[in-house]
Chain A
């Protein structure tokens, strides 16, 4: 913090000029203090306090959320205990609350989404990092950013009026005909149901998974690729041995991050899943998820037990997504750490 003597007061010295010298003297006459003034030190301390408070507010908000969720779900936690998560009867009228149908719906729709989204995301990431010339790379990355920026409610709107009819008219009859024997594709095809929820979720998480997979794969050092290619590998062998094997952990992290997003996704799923608390084997049947039951029933919860049961579902959702996201972050961090150059990090 110590300023060298007056050097900076004279940024543009003009050689041999009497008039100019006079000007310079006028600047130098007032020496720069080498110690920060009292007000500066006071302001520095105040500034540090203010931004520390901003940082602490993040901790406070999450702590308040957890407190709020736990306090407000006390009634249901005490009344049902662990049975809450294994009971399959959700009957607000008689005061029976079991969350199993919602947990089932959340898990099935999310895994269906992963099943569809993961191969596509990895394929797209391979295309972007390993194959595409740069004039394609930039627009594709931009389009994927746009996909990620589309609000959930617009995905839902599109899914109700466009995707569900397509599934009902073209996809579900074909699935029923050829794969009906599995039992997964039986019953009436409404379009609206678990399958529609899985498909729209897949479309929504692809940009997230693909963009992280892309980042992880571009973090693989170029020498790895060159080394494998020099040994006579084809491009696929190079990608499999040189890139995918090195980026494996990070790609799994990306997939789990996508899972975290799918588990908590609310609006689009609520709009197409059918909202019926049933555990059905067929993917054509309507279902219900943890997030959608909160969205649909929270404002109409008439008594305290009902409300606290819904908040307990929120608490469970919070804990599950917390674990899933922490796991994903750790995996992504393990593959990309040290890769991006940082100046003073």
Chain B
């Protein structure tokens, strides 16, 4: 249908306008690919250039010093991020995987469709709105900011990514594998967990790691939940520092010393995330469906 437009031109020599527009398009496509990648290198180059000088043992192990005093670091924020992310994983990963299993194994009905749609909605909610909603649900109930509230916010944000990945990976497992397990008389829950989920585990882990990497860099949902803290805090019911909040606070501060620390913190954060994403690449390139076929 669409090809009718060019049909009469068969075997005519290619006119210079057609050649020109063809070359212009090639130029445009190559040029925009380069332009798209340039900011990536620019960001990484500046992160390394500006950040690497301020990373030292004190930066990684100490809490911030008051303004004007040299030294200090983001040790408490790194640990705080760890605590919050651990809580988030406790909430987000089991719920996400459970929802994913439901969607792929039982969810071919109206309820499954409703859950799928709602998970997409949840995925699209701006992170700042997740922040104020969790503020209302957890912080107001608890009456103070806490690592738990931060963990709930990030955990909720992990659910859609994890459940989507789980569902897609489980659907890739051939039905014959499930039938083989059932045929051996294995009960359904054992078959789902030790056969279907295990076969798809590489893909599920990929989804989990991507969700984790995304949660690690989220700032907006933590502003009104974990809130941040200038001191060490290991109590999950207290306001807790997190790397992204600390970077934000230091970046918009007027002090040069803090700007340097913001760059260093950003470098640490991005290294953690790149490590997670690269690990995912390695896992997936080894064969998503190892043993499935």
Contacts and interface: CB of A to CB of B under 8 A. Distances in A.
Interface string B127-152: 11111110111000000000000000
Contacts of B98: 50-51, 53-55
Nearest to B50: A161
Given A314-B129, A318-B126, A44 B189 contact: yes
27 contacts: A8-B183, A36-B185, A43-B187, A56-B115, A58-B159, A121-B36, A123-B29, A123-B33, A127-B30, A130-B29, A146-B277, A149-B217, A149-B277, A153-B247, A158-B42, A158-B46, A161-B46, A207-B36, A233-B9, A241-B3, A264-B128, A264-B129, A311-B136, A314-B133, A326-B120, A342-B172, A343-B175
Chain A interface secondary structure, helix, strand, loop or mixed? helix
Given A157-B247, A317-B126, A162 B133 contact: no
Contacts of A237: 6, 18, 22
Contact of A51 (B40, B46, B99, B130): B99
A131 B26 contact: yes
A56 B30 CA distance: 46
Given A54-B95, A143-B40, A241-B5, A154 B217 contact: yes
Which residue, A40, A53, A124, A299, has most C-beta atoms of chain B within 10 A?
A124
Contact of B223 (A34, A271, A298, A310): A298
B58 to A, nearest CB: 21
A80 interface: no
B214 to A, nearest CB: 7
A325 to B, nearest CB: 4
Interface string B181-198: 011110111001000000
B154 interface: no
B187 A228 contact: no
B36 A344 contact: no
A296 B2 CA distance: 52
B43 A154 contact: yes
B67 interface: no
A231 B3 contact: yes
B208 interface: no
B174 A343 contact: yes
Given A54-B94, A58-B99, A271-B248, A260 B122 contact: no
B219 interface: yes
Nearest to B135: A298
B70 interface: no
Interface stretch (A18-26, A64-72, A177-185): A64-72
Interface in A72-124: 72, 119-124
Which residue, B6, B40, B173, has most C-beta atoms of chain A within 10 A?
B6
B270 interface: yes
Nearest to B155: A61
A150 B163 contact: no
Contacts of B224: 298-299
Contact of A157 (B33, B105, B262): B262
B124 A234 contact: no
Nearest to A343: B174
Interface residues of A, number: 110
A236 B118 contact: no
A61 B156 contact: yes
A155 B47 CA distance: 11
A98 B76 CA distance: 40
B154 to A, nearest CB: 12
B3 A55 contact: no
B30 to A, nearest CB: 6
Nearest to A202: B39
Interface string A189-213: 0000000000000010011001000
B149 to A, nearest CB: 13
Nearest to A144: B36
Contacts of B111: 55
A147 interface: yes
A293 to B, nearest CB: 10
Contacts of B257: none
Contacts of A71: 136
Contacts of B174: 343-344
B29 A154 contact: no
